[in-house]
């Protein structure tokens, strides 16, 4: 009975994980301005697999973003700003909050997949 659990878990959770990671249907808030909140959202292009929130002084940017480009140097060049905080995340409309702690989505996914692999082999 115990060994039945793993295939069942795999069958249930793996498709769900890939679903979360699938591209082209992510929604993000998209604005630029000095307002606290962004009320406009868009469906991102397929190459944008994350949302970004950038705060540079009083100016804020909300947009779709490529997760691989979610690092200080790229953002600095793209927005032509040098003193800023940012946050990238990979869930629908996740870039609304001014909480700038970096997203943990990817590390969590990777560790879940690793644990599943360790359990099954």
Ligand X SMILES: *[C@@H]1O[C@H](CO)[C@@H](O)[C@H](O)[C@H]1NC(C)=O
Q: Which residues bind ligand X (CB under 6 A)?
A: 39, 41, 93
Taking the complex as a whole, the smallest distance from the CB of residue 93 to ligand X amounts, in Å, to 5
Q: Which is nearer to ligand X, 39 or 99 (CB)?
A: 39
Taking the complex as a whole, the smallest distance from the CB of residue 91 to ligand X amounts, in Å, to 12
Q: Which is nearer to ligand X, 93 or 109 (CB)?
A: 93
Position of minimal CB gap to ligand X: 41
For residue 82, give both structure tokens.
């040098």
Rounded distance, CA 20 to CA 99, Å? 22
């Amino acid at each position: 009975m115990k060994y039945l659990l793993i295939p069942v878990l795999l069958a249930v959770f793996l498709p769900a994980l890939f679903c979360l990671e699938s591209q082209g249907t992510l929604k993000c808030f998209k604005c630029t301005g000095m307002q606290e909140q962004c009320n406009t959202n868009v469906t991102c292009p397929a190459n944008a697999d994350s949302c970004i929130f950038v705060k540079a002084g009083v100016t804020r940017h909300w947009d779709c973003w490529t997760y691989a480009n979610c690092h200080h140097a790229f953002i600095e060049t793209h927005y032509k700003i040098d003193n800023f905080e940012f946050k990238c995340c990979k869930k629908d409309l996740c870039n609304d909050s001014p909480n700038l702690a970096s997203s943990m989505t990817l590390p969590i996914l990777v560790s879940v997949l690793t644990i599943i692999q360790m359990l099954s082999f």
